[in-house]
């Protein structure tokens, strides 16, 4: 026979368990907030829109790194200039966008360890007289506003040169090259190569000029002093060491990455 006292005790235990559970769920919600990651998804193969989704090398790498770090996140396509404003104003926690780590940016932002080596390339129409960076002199040259490509062209043409046409993103810069608005576009090598590969009918060629364009490295970007940096760095290191990075690299570039170049 079940006694009244026993029932009362059971009900009490049940209520305690329910209240206890509710309390602890609330706690995890407040301590583990989703991380907001921002990007400019007009930079294939690093990040671009495909059927309404943001895809690319950076997107896959971000996923692997955040999984390794055990962090929940949401990736938002907000555009290049807004991305810097969002990190500076701390309305976003992290940016991934083929962002070059350099001293100027380091004054305002923190960066992860490097994850990709890049240099610049010149895109021109087939048959163009532009064969080197020097040939850009006197020509109208398109760049994405606020990129290291812009800085590289400014070094050759001069900072305030009106012949430097600045675009919101690399896609529109290349469109303008096709339409004859600019005679050349300077952008990151992997992006230039990807465009040429995907658009054989556009009759556009891409070439490097190691005398004028230095090598640079991409990193994830954070607000200055962000606590995320250390977690992301550790996870990124693991992802590079355990072969996940190589897999992602091969998927997007079809070749083996030079991991040593990242580690020096």
The separation between the first and the last C-alpha atoms of the chain, rounded to the nearest angstrom, is 76
If residue 97 lies in a helix (H) or strand (E), which one and from where to where? Answer: none
- d(Cα 75, Cα 63) in Å, to the nearest integer? 10
Compose the 84-113 pattern: x for residues touching ligand ARG by CB under 6 A, - for all others. Answer: -------------xxxx-------------
**Does the protein bind ligand ARG through residue 174 (CB under 6 A)?**
no
Q: Which range in 1-9, 36-44, 196-204, 245-253 contacts ligand ARG by CB under 6 A?
A: 36-44
Interface mask toward ligand ARG for 120-159; x: CB under 6 A:
------------------------x--xx-----------
The β-bridge partners of 217 are 117
Q: Does 189 bind ligand ARG (CB under 6 A)?
A: no
- How far apart CA 264 and CA 261 sit, in angstroms, is 6
Q: How far is the CB of 157 from ligand ARG (least distance, A)?
A: 17
Those residues whose C-beta lies under 8 Å from the C-beta of residue 12, and which sit 6 or more positions away, are none
- Shortest distance (Å) from residue 144 CB to ligand ARG: 6
Nearer to ligand ARG, 100 or 244 (CB): 100
Q: Which helix (H) or strand (E) holds 6?
A: helix 4-31
Nearest residue (CB) to ligand ARG, 41 versus 65: 41
What's 256's DSSP letter? Answer: -
- Neighbouring C-beta atoms of residue 131, cutoff 10 Å: 11
> Binders of ligand ARG: how many residues, by CB under 6 A?
15
The C-alpha angle with vertex 173 and arms to 167 and 179, in degrees rounded to 5, equals 125
Q: Which residues bind ligand ARG (CB under 6 A)?
A: 40, 42-43, 47, 80, 97-100, 144, 147-148, 169-170, 188
């Amino acid at each position: 026979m079940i006694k009244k006292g026993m029932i009362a005790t059971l009900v009490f235990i049940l209520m305690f368990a329910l209240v206890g559970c509710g309390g602890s769920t609330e706690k995890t919600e407040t301590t583990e907030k989703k991380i907001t990651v921002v990007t400019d998804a007009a930079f294939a193969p690093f990040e671009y829109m495909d059927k309404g989704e943001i895809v690319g090398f950076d997107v896959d790498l971000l996923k692997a790194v955040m999984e390794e770090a055990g962090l929940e996140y949401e990736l938002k396509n907000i555009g290049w200039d807004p991305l810097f404003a969002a990190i500076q104003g701390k309305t976003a926690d992290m940016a991934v966008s083929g962002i070059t780590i350099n001293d100027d940016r380091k004054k305002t932002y923190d960066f992860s360890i490097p994850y990709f080596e890049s240099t610049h390339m010149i895109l021109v129409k087939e048959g163009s007289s532009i064969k080197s960076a020097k040939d850009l002199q006197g020509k109208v040259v398109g760049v994405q506003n606020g990129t290291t490509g812009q800085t590289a062209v400014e070094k050759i043409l001069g900072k305030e040169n009106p012949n430097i046409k600045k675009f919101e993103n690399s896609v529109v810069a290349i469109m303008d090259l096709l339409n004859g608005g600019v005679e050349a576009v300077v952008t990151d090598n992997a992006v230039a190569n990807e465009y040429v590969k995907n658009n054989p009918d556009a009759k556009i060629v891409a070439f490097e000029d190691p005398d004028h364009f230095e090598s640079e490295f991409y990193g994830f970007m954070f607000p200055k002093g962000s606590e995320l940096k250390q977690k992301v760095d550790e996870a990124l290191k693991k992802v590079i060491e355990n072969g996940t990075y190589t897999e992602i690299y091969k998927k997007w570039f079809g070749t083996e990455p030079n991991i040593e170049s990242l580690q020096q």
